[in-house]
Structure 1
């Protein structure tokens, strides 16, 4: 089984913990300390919110400010369009921002959320039939209906 751990830098660890738990994630206290917090999305997906100073020890490369530079784009699926809208509303209420307009591709609906540090997370819903058939086949079928 594969698990994914995404390290995201933060200038305020307590603020990051509050933000992501407001979105419905939980914290794993076993892997949370003064340098990092393990944010649990589900049994396989975790964010490690890491202080900027500690994050810099993970690489010899120059780290960037997520408010001004994109280093990675993270996308997490939700079970419905309404669930996408709900998590974006929760994120904005918890101090995040929505940097772009919602995107509706017919087979997929997505919205972007920046956390208070500027780390971007996209939340999306894809129609199950589009996953099975592929987006072009799904859209062609919808056009016939």
Structure 2
């Protein structure tokens, strides 16, 4: 096995590259200018997680499959944050930057808290917090009412 870290690059089609770039910067991503041009922008979440936002024309150079419209849901991308307050702050920043807050019901199970947002193109992001003791296995997973 290689010493190269495993990485993920999430590719998303966007209608307005500059608007989307500003949105992702507002919720905590940073732009990597080396991989950004007028057709795409690399938005960095961590050393191993990147979101590539691509103009529709750029997206279509990779696939003939149709781009999902804002009324559909193709995937939900969850982002782990350090506190419930950080979740709320991201949701507020998303709404202020052209996104939509709380597109699904808020999930508060005590040990885990999450809210869902839409980016300007309708991609679903789920910032969440989980009690570190539960996440690490130091504390048991509480039962969650269905």
TM-score (norm 2): 0.88
Confirm or deny that 1:44 pairs with 2:54: no
> Would you say the 8 A contact 1:129–1:138 is kept in 2?
no
CA distance in 2 between counterparts of 1:105 and 1:74 reads 19
SS of aligned partner of 2:9: strand
Count of aligned pairs between the two proteins: 138
Q: How does 1:1-145 map to 2 (within 5 A)?
A: 1-65=5-69, 67-98=70-101, 99-133=103-137, 137-139=140-142
> Would you say the 8 A contact 2:13–2:67 is kept in 1?
no
1:143 aligns with none
Q: Deviations over 1:47-95 (max 9, x none)?
A: 0010112112212333322x11111211110011111011111110111
CA distance in 2 between counterparts of 1:41 and 1:115 reads 15
CA distance in 1 between counterparts of 2:51 and 2:141 reads 33
The structure that is helix-richer by fraction is 1
SS of aligned partner of 1:41: strand
How far 1:134 sits from its partner (Å)?
8.1
CA distance in 2 between counterparts of 1:112 and 1:53 reads 28
